Structure formats: structure tokens, C-alpha cells
A and B are shown apart, each in its own frame.
Chain A
């Protein structure tokens, strides 16, 4: 992969939903270039088009007009099957609702994308899945089922699943929307760690608390980008240390003997 080439190149993308007689312009001409190694937060009020943009970048949907290049591939011109392969190979999704398969162990959930990998680039699915789970700190929970895991842990499994195919891009739509503040910081710490390893991450959020950990902020309003700025991200691990210290002061009780 050529490092100088941008991972995502969105040029003049429009998305119009036609609902009977009314037309909803979810995106009205969006230009966005994301380089390898970025950690970018897309913000905006509800209905501003964040999810719509993510779906197009993630290859789940086609733009009404405009061009979208992922790693230089013109994704908007691909057929459905090629698009499915792109999602499998180049994109890892993390959703607000985790979207793990129920009654399916963490390991099996993480292995799932490899099932649909037609390149067979990874031979040992189990090992790849365990490595991925270990990377997100769940090496000791591989056989747990989603209902045996906390929300934060479930989201980590989802992140491990997104990572297992070594994608070019992780897309996370409101990944912390269902998590409490401490778990949110934990997940953001994980994203920062992964980003430090060179993984490109796009996350959608409308919380400043989350966006401050990103290196770049893009703000949408009514389907247009109204702000696109780099920033100095806060360190999630530093915040986490502070949070833990504060909680320990609040709950300063002697440990119970077992």
C-alpha cells in the first residue's frame, strides 16, 4: 500500500433519499480526504448526515452522486459483491449497539469476518481471532458469550472483530453511545492505542467528551461540512488514571476478605 495515497477520498458526494414526493438531502456535496493513520471524529447534530456519510465510506451504501475512493479504488462504481468484499477486506465496523451475534462466543464472533474472506489471506482463523481479542485486552474472555460480558467488553469484542481482517480503516458509529463515562474513556484509550499502531480510525460522535480524543474534527450540518480542523488530542490513558484515582478516593473502603 502506498503511504502517500489517502485512505479515503470523498469528492462532492451527495445522497438524496426519495420518500414518496419529498426528497431528503442527507448529504449535499461533501469533500473529505483522510490520510493513513488519522484518528478523526465526525460530529454534528442529529440528522446532519453523519451515519449516511459513514455508510457510504463503509461501502454499505452508494452515494447518489459524487466519487468515493478507498485506497484508490473507486468504490462507488463497484457491484454489490465487490462491495461486500471491500467491506470484508478493507473496513472494520464498530456499531453503537455492538451488533455481536447472540449465543455465539466472543471467539466465534471475531472469527466471523474471516469466514467471508475469499482471499484466504489468513490461514489460522482461531489464532487470528485470539490475537485480535488479546489486542483489545480480552485474551482471557475468548469463550464468553455476549450476554456474559459487560457493555465495554462487548464493544471490545466488536473492535476485535473489526480488526481481525487487518482492514485499512476502522469505522465506528457512536461506539460509546451505549457506554458509561468510564467505559467510554477505556474504549477511547483502546482506539488511541490502535491508532498509535498506525490504524486509521473514523468515529462518529456528538459528544465533545469523545471527540476530544481525536486528532481531527469534522463537523457536519445539514449534509455539509462546516468545520474541519486538526487538534491536539487529550490522552485517554491519562484521563483513565485520573478517573480511577478519583473513584478510589470516593470508594475508600477496606477490601473484603474472601
Chain B
């Protein structure tokens, strides 16, 4: 009853002194707004990375060579911890969960033809590759099993190469030179965009594995083996199964550690998000400092306001307010102002996040969690920084307060 009245008194005092209220809240408004925008930018970046990883393929598993160090002892030449095309063959013939599989071999080279030449990367892959990567064609066709087996000199161009070498025309049927070897273009891939690292996925050409391995490059080093499962439910089981097949294929004894790594897309996005997470936390920390400064601002103005309102406090005490009543009133005022300021800050933060998104084209995400955190934090700031001024007000001597000019 009395405490609800004290709330009313505090609210009235806040409403009656709009300028003072606004100044008090300003720091919190800016602080919370900054936190919301910063975290929105960080989370936006993270969700973009997650999207990009999902965009890499469907139900995809990636096998890469493991580190050549095991138990701190270098494994020498490391020849046996490389991936081999026999690994892929073994998986293809033995696995129950794997729908498609493709070893990937790269060569960085000049592609000459059409408008001139273009430096790019040619990937040697299997016919399963476009399915695993969920990659459609805009023109032509992908190579078939026969072309793959015979290592035919055919190639599918990524959108970036196609645009650069053959602007405004369909390259299908044309020939390009790769290391002076003529290769026929049989298809063009749809645009896929950037990887989380910012690489252009479309700046690539795909050719049959054998073609790249035997004819276009002298490398036999397989960078990765891509595989996919029939359904997302199989991913964990497939991962386990692939591990066994790979260990067998590499002839590892029971005590030897894996010399390869198998990651699914969730694990890939976690890894890719690591740095962004640090960045998000850093941004949030910086923004939190402004919230802290906002809190100090509240304390500052509350302290000034206690001095300014000394007479009011004296009057209240003379007519029977206890120290606790004055303390409660000032504390409620500061909490209400900081929560209210926090709410305005949330509004401004949401608007700011949208503005940043539209100005920079970045992805920004304002999650409900951060709104709740910001509001709770504002209230905490109000209590923490309001307490000292409120204590000061409550400890005034009524006679001195009344005499104060």
C-alpha cells in the first residue's frame, strides 16, 4: 500500500522533471542502444556464417588430412596421412549411409579462352559432387560417369569464370586452354556466393577427377573428400562409419590416433563461427562500457539532483518521512528511469541495427535474449548506481536540509 504510493511518488517526480529525467536516461539509452546494435551485428555475422556453411551442401561430410603430429612426435614424411583416391573408392563400396562421394583435387592455373585469360582454380571431382554440394547448373550438363572414368577433357565453369571469359554468351561447346591443353566446356554452374572466409565459390571450374589428376596437373594430393548421406538423421552414424573405414584404409593400429578429420556442416560452422564469436563478445564488451558510463551518468545526475532537491527531502522528512522512505523513493526513481531508458535504448538499438543493415548490407540479428539481458542489466545499473545517491539523500539531516538554499 505504502510502497505502491512511493512508486507513484517516484513516477510523478520523474514525469514532473522531464528534462532531468531525459538527461538521466540518456546514458542508459545510448549504452543499451549500442549494446543492441553491436550484438546484432555480431550475431548477424554468425548467422550469416551458419547460412553460408549450410549453403555449402546438403547433409555433407568433409574428410580432410589430419595433423601430422600425434602425441607430440612428428610422423616423418607424413605420406601415410594423406588422403588417397583409394579412400574414396573404399568408402563408396563399403559404406551403408553414404549417398555420394567425391575426392577433391585442386590446381591453380590460368584458363585461356573466350575474352582472354583468367586465373582460377580447377577442381577435380566425381559425378556425385554437384549433388553433395547441392549445386545446380544454369546451362549445359555435368560430366557423366563414362567421362569421369576415361578422364575426358571436359569442364564445367563456375559463374565467375563464365562471366569473365564469356560475357553475354553461353560458353557451352566452346574450348578453353588449361596448361595448353584444350578442354571443352560442357556446362555452367549456378551462382553460389562467398564462403565464410570470403572466398568466391563461383571462381572455380570443375573437371573429372582423373582429368585433373592425370592431365591438367602433376599433383596427386587430395585436399579433401566430400560425402553426403541420404538423410540428415544418418549424419552421426555415417561419421562413425566413415571413421572405421578410413582407419582401415589407412591401416591404423588400435593405439594409433586418427590421421584424418571428419566434420559435418554443424561442426564446420562452429569452427568458422569461433572468431566471429570472439568478435561479438568484444563488440558487446565495448558497448557494455558505454552502458557502464551510462550508469555513472545516472549516478552523476542523481547526485546533483539530490543536492538540488535537498529542500524537498527536508520537507518530506519534516512531515514524517523516514530515511528508508526517502531511500526507497530515490531508488525507485533511478530504477524506473534506467529500465525506461533501457526500453528506449532497446527501441533505438533495434532501429539502429536495421539502419546498419541497410547502410552496410550486413546481416544484423536482434535476438529476444539480448533484449531481456539489456533490460535486466539496465535495472541492475539503476539499483547499483542509484543506491549511493539514494543513501546520501536518506542520510540528510532534516534541519540542514530545510535550511538549504
Residues of A within 8 A of B (CB): 55, 58, 60-61, 80-81, 84-85, 87-89, 93, 95, 99-101, 103-104, 108, 112-113, 115-118, 120, 161, 165
Contacts and interface: CB of A to CB of B under 8 A. Distances in A.
B323 A81 contact: yes
Interface of B: 1-2, 5-6, 9, 12, 16-17, 311-312, 314-325, 398-399, 402
B340 to A, nearest CB: 19
A221 B315 CA distance: 28
A13 to B, nearest CB: 16
Contact of B319 (A108, A113, A118): A113
B320 A101 contact: no
A115 B312 CA distance: 15
A112 B314 CA distance: 13
Contacts of B317: 84, 87
A101 B325 CA distance: 17
Specify which of A93, A104, A115 lies most central, judged by the most chain B CB atoms within 10 Å of its CB.
A115
B380 to A, nearest CB: 28
A84 B321 contact: yes
Given A55-B399, A61-B399, A104 B318 contact: no
A115 B16 CA distance: 18
A115 B9 contact: yes
Contact of A116 (B12, B311, B320): B320
16 contacts: A60-B318, A61-B399, A84-B321, A84-B323, A87-B317, A87-B319, A87-B320, A88-B321, A93-B318, A99-B402, A103-B17, A112-B316, A113-B319, A113-B320, A116-B316, A118-B2
B11 to A, nearest CB: 13
B319 A101 contact: no
Contacts of B319: 87-88, 93, 112-113, 116, 161
B309 to A, nearest CB: 10
A101 B321 contact: no
B399 A84 contact: no
A176 to B, nearest CB: 18
Nearest to B324: A81
B322 A115 contact: no
B218 to A, nearest CB: 88
A87 B318 contact: yes
B95 to A, nearest CB: 79
B320 A89 contact: yes
A113 B5 CA distance: 12
Nearest to A95: B402
B404 to A, nearest CB: 11
Contacts of B323: 80-81, 84
A101 B312 contact: yes
Interface of B is mostly: helix
A118 B3 CA distance: 11
Given A60-B399, A115-B2, A99 B322 contact: no
A49 to B, nearest CB: 14
Contacts of B322: 80-81, 84-85, 116
Given A60-B399, A113-B320, 17 more contacts: A55-B399, A60-B402, A61-B399, A81-B323, A81-B324, A84-B317, A85-B322, A95-B402, A112-B319, A113-B319, A115-B2, A115-B6, A116-B316, A116-B321, A116-B325, A117-B320, A165-B320
Nearest to A93: B318
A172 to B, nearest CB: 13
Contact of B320 (A55, A84, A103): A84
B159 to A, nearest CB: 68
A124 to B, nearest CB: 13
B321 A120 contact: no
Nearest to B312: A101
Nearest to A111: B5
A223 B302 CA distance: 40
A104 B16 contact: yes
A112 B398 CA distance: 16
A120 B402 contact: no
A167 to B, nearest CB: 10
A251 B379 CA distance: 63
A115 B5 contact: yes
A18 to B, nearest CB: 15
For the complex of A and B, the 5 pairs showing the least CB-CB separation, nearest first, are A88-B320, A116-B320, A113-B319, A84-B322, A103-B16
Contacts of B6: 115
Contacts of A58: 318
A80 B321 CA distance: 10
A88 B2 CA distance: 14
Contacts of B312: 101
A17 B312 CA distance: 25
A165 to B, nearest CB: 8
Contacts of A84: 317, 320-323
B325 A99 contact: no
A87 B12 CA distance: 24
Nearest to B320: A88
A61 B323 CA distance: 15
A85 B320 CA distance: 6
A123 to B, nearest CB: 11
B399 to A, nearest CB: 5
Interface centre among B323, B325, B398, by most chain A C-beta atoms within 10 angstroms, is B398
Which one of A60, A84, A100, A104 has the highest number of Cβ atoms from chain B below 10 Å of its Cβ? A84
Contacts of B9: 115
Contacts of A103: 16-17
B323 to A, nearest CB: 7
A147 B325 CA distance: 27
A34 to B, nearest CB: 20
A55 B12 CA distance: 30
A118 B312 CA distance: 20
Contacts of B17: 103
Contacts of B316: 112, 116
